Amino acid sequence: MPVRSALDLARELVATPSPSGREEAAAEVLIDAMRALGFDSAYRDEAGNAVGVIARGEGPTLLLTGHLDTVDPGDPSEWPHPPLAGEVADGRLWGRGTVDMKSALACMAVGAAAAAAAGVRGTLIVAGAVLEEVSGLGSMHLASTLDYDAVVLGEPSDLRLKLGHKGRVEVLATFTGRIAHAARPELGVNALEAAARFVTALGRLELPVSDVLGPATATPTRLRTAPGGTTNVVPGAAEVVVDVRTLPGQGVEDVLALLRGLVPDGEAELSVPSSPVALPGGGTAQRPHASPAYLVDPGHEAVGKARAALGRALRAAGRELEEGVWWFCTDAPHLAAGGRPVVGFGPGEEELAHTTRESVRVDDLEVAAQAYRELALAFLGGSP
C-alpha cells in the first residue's frame, strides 16, 4: 500500500515487532515504504540494516539514520493502549518504538522523499539500523560500508537539536576476603567492609567536567556478597557495580585506572563485563558493557547548517529551536568514525522511551518530516 504520511508508516512500524536481533519484518516494512516513496534503491545490507538511497548526481552524501530494534514492551496490561497496535488516541501515537525510535525513521523516509522532489544535489541515504539496543553493531556496519559526509541521528530529542552525550562504562569491582562465623569476625576477612570503603571513596573521586556535557560521574548501582544464603557469616566475597558516565577522551582503560587508584593493591579486581550478542548472520559476539562519549564541535559547519534548517522548519510550525545534549548513549560515536559529524534531531520526549507510557505527539510527526526535508536541502545544496 502506498505510504500516505509519516504517521501511516510509523503506525505500521510500531505494529511490526522488532526486538534486537529480530528486526527483519520491520526492515522490510521500511524498505517497502522507501520503494513506494520513490527511492532509487532500497535493500537490506549484510548486517540486516534497512538502507534506502536517493542519488541526484555529484555532490555530498547525507545519512539520515536511526534504529529499528526496540526493547521488550513488557506486560501489555500495564500500558494505557496496546503496545504493538500503533493506536492513535488523545492526539498521540502510542506503542513500543513510537519514541525510541520508529517515528523518526518514518519521518526521515517521508522527509527524504519530499527533499528529493524539491531538488537536491548529491546522495541522500536513509538507514534503519539493527542491534542498537544491545551492541551498536548495525551502525558500526553502516559506518564501515557507506561513504557519507555527515549524519543526522533521529534519536528522540523532543524536536531539539542535540550535539552529543556522555559515554558509559560499567565496572565490576570484585573484593575477596575470608569466610568466618559472624560471632568470631576476627577469624575472617570481611569483603563487604572493603567494598564499603571503595563505595565511600567513590564519593570523593575528582572527575572531569565538560562545559557542554557537564560532569563525568561514577555511581555505585549494585552490591552483592557471597555466600548469600545466610546472614550470620562474614562474607568472603563482594561485588560492586559502578556505572561510570564518561566524557570525550575517557576510554575504558582510563576509567579502570582511575578506579584502581581507590583500592589498595590486591584488595579488588576491576573489570568491564561483556555479554554475548546474536549476530544477524548467525553466531554471537561478545560486546563489553561500554559505550563511548560523543560531542560535535558546536561551531562545526554541520551544526550551523542544522541550526539554520531546523530553525526554518520549527518557525514555520510556530516553534523556536532549542539545543542541548542527550542524557543517554546513542550510536553517534560509531557513526562518527573517520571524523564525520553527527547531529541529532527527532520527535518524541526522551523520558518516555522504554516506558509503558511511550507515545509521540501526532503533530510532531509532521513537523519532524518537514524538518528532515529542510536538513536534506541544507546539506545537499537544494533550495530551502
- Calpha distance 361→347 (Å, rounded): 8
Dist. CA 146–CA 110, nearest whole Å: 21
Burial class (CB in 10 A: 0-12, 13-18, 19+), 123: buried
Separation between Cα atoms, residue 255 and residue 262, nearest integer Å: 12
Task: Give me the residue label for grid cell 536541502.
Answer: 377
| Helix axes 362-379 and 301-316, enclosed angle (nearest 10) | 140
CB-CB contact of 87 with 95 (8 Å): yes
**Active-site residue 297, yes or no?**
no
Q: What interhelical angle do 6-14 and 24-36 show, nearest 10?
A: 160
208 preceded by a cis bond (ω within 30 of 0):
no
User: 3-class DSSP state for residue 57?
Assistant: coil
Amino acid at 345: F
Residue 99 is given by DSSP the state I
Whether 243 contacts 172, CB under 8 Å? no
Verify whether residue 323 is a known catalytic residue: no
Active-site entry in 23, 69, 350, 358: 69
Query: Which amino acid is located at 323 in the chain?
Result: E
Please tell me the total number of residues recorded for the chain in this structure: 384
CA torsion 126→128→129→130, rounded to 10°? -160
- Give Cα 337 distance to the centre of its chain: 16
Catalytic residues: 69, 132
